[in-house]
Amino acid sequence: MSEIDERPARIVIAEDQALINYMLTHLLNEQKNIDVVAQTFNGAEALEATRSLHPDIVLMDIRMPFMDGLEATRAIKDEINDVNVVILTTFDSPRHRYFARDFGASEFLLKDISHDDLLHTLDDVYHAPFGSPSRTLTDKTVPHDKNSDSYEFAELTARERDVIIQVAEGYTNEQIANTLHISIETVKTHIRHILPKIHASNRMQIISFAYENALLYKYNPYEPAATYYDERGTVAR
């Protein structure tokens, strides 16, 4: 047995909900073969912890503040390729799986997974040769077209998708109009058309739709991970 097999798997948890973060930490630390080396609450903290601690696995939520889990995955794999990232999320759209695989995640798990299946997956990822095929991010589970998605998504025009992204990024109608070079009335018209198409009744539901369908990711394999900021300024490139 090699040295890496004899020591516990060193895991960083990235989960913004404090209770879930605590429960995952408690569950994993009860295992003799796992050592949670850091609890982080957003993608920025996960990236910094990975840089400083070089864990074996990062257990990564998707929707988190400052930098979400998919962008953090891309940044981690861009800098420290031999760290495994396991996505643990409530989102299960084809686009989320598409980006998770393309950004370098090892596995993609849903939060309704059983206790035993989570532990078995982490153990498999830790002991598998680096670069082994994923069980949950295969050609059969991930569409080749990142735009393959729900009926609601397909019904949206390209401009309506642009407006949804702007709404999800917190822009006002006036800011959206300035960014897209259209009138405020046109923005309002687009939003009126968007709401019934995605079965939404307000802007918050538009934001939820954007996250659920991974509309905020504009993947270009030739560009580095996005720069992100918090109250302290730039915290990653």
Q: What CA–CA distance (Å, rounded) separates 201 from 172?
A: 17
Share of the chain above pLDDT 70, in %: 82
What average pLDDT score do residues 120-126 get?
96
Helices 158-168/184-197 angle, 10° precision: 100
Distance between CA 111 and CA 76 in Å, rounded? 22
Count CA atoms closer than 13 A to 225's CA, side-chain side.
26
Looking at the chain, which runs of residues are DSSP E strands? 9-14, 34-40, 57-60, 84-89, 107-110, 228-230, 233-236
CA atoms of 16 and 35, how far apart (whole Å): 20
End-to-end Cα spacing for the chain: 39
| Contact by Cβ (8 Å): 14, 64 | yes
Q: Residue 234 pLDDT more than 50?
A: no
In sign, the C-alpha dihedral spanning 226, 108, 102, 148 is: negative
pLDDT digits (tens, 9 = 90+) for 139-169: 666 665 555 545 566 688 889 989 999 999 8
**Tens of pLDDT along 83-108?**
999 999 998 878 888 889 989 999 99
pTM score of the predicted model = 0.71
Contact 113/90 with Cβ under 8 angstroms?
Answer: no
Listed residue (125, 120, 82) closest to 104, CA to CA:
82
Most distant pair of Cα atoms in the chain: their distance: 68
Per-residue pLDDT reduced to its tens digit, 169-194: 899 999 999 999 999 999 999 999 99
pLDDT at residue 142 in the model: 62
Going from the N-terminus, what domains does the chain have, and what CATH number goes with each? 3-127 (3.40.50.2300), 151-212 (1.10.10.10)
Those residues whose C-beta lies under 8 Å from the C-beta of residue 65, and which sit 6 or more positions away, are: 16, 41, 42
d(CA 47, CA 167): 27
Q: How does the average pLDDT of the chain come out, rounded?
A: 84
Looking at the DSSP assignment, which residues form a beta bridge with residue 189? none
